[in-house]
Amino acid sequence: MFEKWRIKEHMEVTDSSGQHLGTVDKVEDDMIVLTRSDSSDGQHHRLPIDAVEKIDDNRVYMKTGTFASTPQY
């Protein structure tokens, strides 16, 4: 288990194989908010904290099958 406080702004977020998913903008409650500038649709996308596989160096690895969602407004 990891501590969510270890997830910092500007960390790279990848899938389990190391494919780039985005960059951390902030952690909000139990969600990782990715930067809009790293998104093809120009919106913030969110990933659940419980989908994190591990944190290594300056990279967050997500579990297999994790997809970023856009906020529901």
User: pTM of the entire structure?
Assistant: 0.83
pLDDT at 2 over 70: no
The CATH number, out of the four listed (2.40.50.180, 3.30.499.10, 2.30.30.240, 1.10.240.10), of the domain defined by the range 4-62: 2.30.30.240
pLDDT confidence tier of residue 73, bands split at 50, 70 and 90: very low
DSSP for 12-65, please give it. Answer: EEE-TT--EEEEEEEEETTEEEEPSTT-TTSS--EEEGGGEEEEETTEEEEPTT
Structural domain boundaries of the chain? 4-62
